[in-house]
Structure 1
Amino acid sequence: PYTLWVATLYQDELRAKADQEDGWAKGVLNSPPWPLLLAQERLALRRAGRILALSPHTAERIQTLLPEAADRIETVLYPIDLEAFKPDDVARQQSPYGRYLFLAARINDPRKNVGMLLDAFRLIHEQQPDLKLVMSGELPNHSLGRQASDLGLDDVIVFLGPVEKDELIRLYQGAELFVLPSLQEGLGIVVLEALACGTPVVATRCGGPEGIVIEGQTGILVDDRHDPAAFAQAVLDLLTQPDQLEALRISSAAHARQHFAEAVIAAQIKRAYQHIGHHPPHPLPIFRAAAVAWAVIIFGFYMFQQLRLRWPAIQSQLIDPIWGG
């Protein structure tokens, strides 16, 4: 028997990418091996002695896919180093960016929905002209950079690109709010890190955050993932109520200590392993061999499909220059 720790279902991940016109994801979903990949995912879940879902949303999705596995599913969040990720009032007071909203993400991933955030920040900036938007993780692609310029926000949006861990922590600690405008998240580890630093979160209802961002305790959830005005209003509602914002900072850090600490997560995982003994006995060797053969077949089909999808790029970038030269 084995335990699975699942961040998100593979099918959910690919479909979210395909919805944002990701050509690779569309290719996989429409490929001959896709039913085999789905079957492999279901088989791995069905045979698991225990399934640890990384968020309540993921647990719900797995239970929808396999109702018979309900008694083997539990939510175990990602552990956060609370010795490092912790509140620091000095970081907020001495921030080189003044007052700012913060996002740490792969901002060029369409699922992060940063374009909507830029539109929302334009509305926020009209009401809070001294506020900045700071983003780390990646430097913007041409489209995002152009959008920021077209909105007249070049002076108040800071694109940092990748940052070291110590700087990332200071950015969490110094922010007024952490903002997550995503279209789809299995969990959102950045949300856990922000809350551990005592920074409340404004996030869209996109899956993972719905089990972490608690209204009146750790932040606000915005129902419409495509409405900049609604997102902006949620941010402004907190920024214009300093007493409520301060209370959220305190309760966010307390929530993190109670639910995200490494010792808490370790205890949950230990209990999960203790329950594996109730799983059915090991399959016969012939079934194990069949499972290995099945995995090899699926992997072969998958790699063939990847090669087929990427062949034009391989040919133009590798083969033609070599043989043509």
Structure 2
Amino acid sequence: MRIAFFAPHKPIDHPLPSGDLIIGKTLHNFLRSQGHELLIASRFRLRNISQKPLKWPALYLEFRKTLKRVEEFKPDLWLTYHSYYKSPDLLGPYISEKTGIPYAIYQGVFATKYRRNYKTWAGYMANKHALLYADHVFANKDIDFHNLSRIILPEKLSRTYPGIEPDKFNYCPQSAEEIRNKYKLNGKRIILSTAMLRDDVKAESIADLINAFAPVSREIPNAILLIAGDGEARPRLEKLAAQKTGNQVIFLGQVKRDKLYKYYSAADIFAYPGINEALGMVYLEAQCTGLPVVAYSTRGPQEAVVHGETGLLSPEKDIAAMSANITRLLIDDGLRGEMAKAAPEHVLRNFDLNRNLHEVEQSLITISHWRD
């Protein structure tokens, strides 16, 4: 197939890492690895475009350029990654119509609450138009599938599952030894967390984790919390950690994704509260490496973690419950061992990216012939 690929929220080669970026880039790269030709139709960012009228003339010019680009490429299909009210696809439906090619959306999102706010109404309507126009929509979260089923015909909607490449997150004893020696962690109980330290729910989650770790650090003096990630909130979080736990929290800075397996391998458990978190690739990566997970029982962690089998979840903002779960897993070697065995099996069974994307690929091949 020849595929025109577009990510309206953030181009897949954007330098700022995020879970959404990883999913989009992985989808793009997988399709290329299968021998399909892909054109990045546009790198124009549509984030909050409905609230930025000064960008509308530039959007019109980009539409003209993208149309010419696509006409020259002659694709069999237009594939948009992640359209929702903040970043609705304003290019794909119209260019697909003009060129007569099928149009699909991977990771479509729909929620009616945004039609009731004048600030989000335009983005909501634009996104709804794209979803309704699409020949097929793939939803990779339960709530998205449920919401989309209210407006999308069953034959045009698929429940898909994201995932990771398990071979890239195998436990590595040599790496575990390397990291423990590097940070002088031998004899320590290690909790690992990783997040972008932005001044939003990411920083709020890490602040909750530090507060939950504080009583653990007093009860288990050899416990260490490692935090991988960087951002504008880091100085504030470092100050909070020093106040609450002394020197028992180590900020690692940004760690490249292809090196994260080393840190997962060195840890005993993984903890990240996950406020407003989507599925969360880090939960899958950690479990694949054999780490039990501690998180809030919010939507994202619930989809990735089996409570009581591969991790322990607690109500959002219940700091004491999260603290108790961390303590329990650090102290109970038997429980931790059982979960360490179950976690990789859970990921392989449900979140093997190659298997899941092969199913998406077959659907796209079928869709590409719908308008022949």
TM-score by length of 1: 0.71
1:230 aligns with 2:321: yes
Q: When you count helix as a share of all residues, which structure comes out higher?
A: 1
Q: Give 1:166 shift.
A: 4.4
| 8 Å contact kept, 1:8–1:54 | no
Partner of 1:243: 334
Aligned in 2, Cα 1:185/1:272: closer, same or farther, shift over 3 Å?
Answer: farther
Partner of 1:114: 206
User: Could you tell me how far apart the structure 2 residues matched to 1:70 and 1:7 are?
Assistant: 14
Can you give the 5+ residue segments of structure 2 that lack an aligned partner in the other structure? 1-101
Partner of 1:311: none
* SS of alignment partner, residue 106 of structure 2: strand
Match for 2:242 among 108, 126, 149? Answer: 149
| CA RMSD across the alignment | 2.8
Can you give the 5+ residue segments of structure 1 that lack an aligned partner in the other structure? 15-28, 283-325
1:186 aligns with 2:270: no
Partner of 1:204: 296
| 8 Å contact kept, 2:141–2:279 | yes
Residue type of the alignment partner of 1:145: E
Residue type of the alignment partner of 1:104: T
Aligned in 2, Cα 1:161/1:51: closer, same or farther, shift over 3 Å?
Answer: same
Q: Give 1:276 shift.
A: 3.9
1:42 aligns with 2:128: yes
Match for 1:255 among 339, 346, 362? Answer: 346
User: Could you tell me how far apart the structure 2 residues matched to 1:10 and 1:217 are?
Assistant: 31
Partner of 2:255: 163
Q: Give 1:232 shift.
A: 0.8
Match for 1:220 among 312, 319, 322? Answer: 312
Kindly provide the CA deviation profile for residues 61-87 of structure 1, in whole angstroms up to 9, marking residues without a partner as x: 444xx3544554333233322222112
Kindly provide the CA deviation profile for residues 64-112 of structure 1, in whole angstroms up to 9, marking residues without a partner as x: xx35445543332333222221123454455233421111111234212
User: Could you tell me how far apart the structure 2 residues matched to 1:10 and 1:145 are?
Assistant: 36
What does 1:1-325 correspond to in 2, within 5 Å? 1-6=102-107, 31=119, 34-63=120-149, 66-69=150-153, 72-92=156-176, 95-96=180-181, 97=185, 98-112=188-202, 113-138=205-230, 140-151=233-244, 153-223=245-315, 225-273=316-364, 276=367
* SS of alignment partner, residue 167 of structure 2: coil
* SS of alignment partner, residue 230 of structure 2: coil
* SS of alignment partner, residue 83 of structure 1: helix
User: Could you tell me how far apart the structure 1 residues matched to 2:189 and 2:123 are?
Assistant: 47
Higher relative contact order (CA 8 A, sep 6+): 1
* SS of alignment partner, residue 184 of structure 1: coil
Partner of 1:19: none
| 8 Å contact kept, 2:242–2:249 | no
Q: Give 1:119 shift.
A: 0.6
Q: Give 1:133 shift.
A: 0.7
Fraction of identical pairs, as percent? 22
| 8 Å contact kept, 2:192–2:263 | yes
| 8 Å contact kept, 2:171–2:261 | no
| 8 Å contact kept, 2:189–2:330 | no
Kindly provide the CA deviation profile for residues 289-314 of structure 1, in whole angstroms up to 9, marking residues without a partner as x: xxxxxxxxxxxxxxxxxxxxxxxxxx
TM-score by length of 2: 0.62
Aligned in 2, Cα 1:249/1:75: closer, same or farther, shift over 3 Å?
Answer: farther
User: Could you tell me how far apart the structure 2 residues matched to 1:269 and 1:43 are?
Assistant: 23
Q: Give 1:217 shift.
A: 2.6
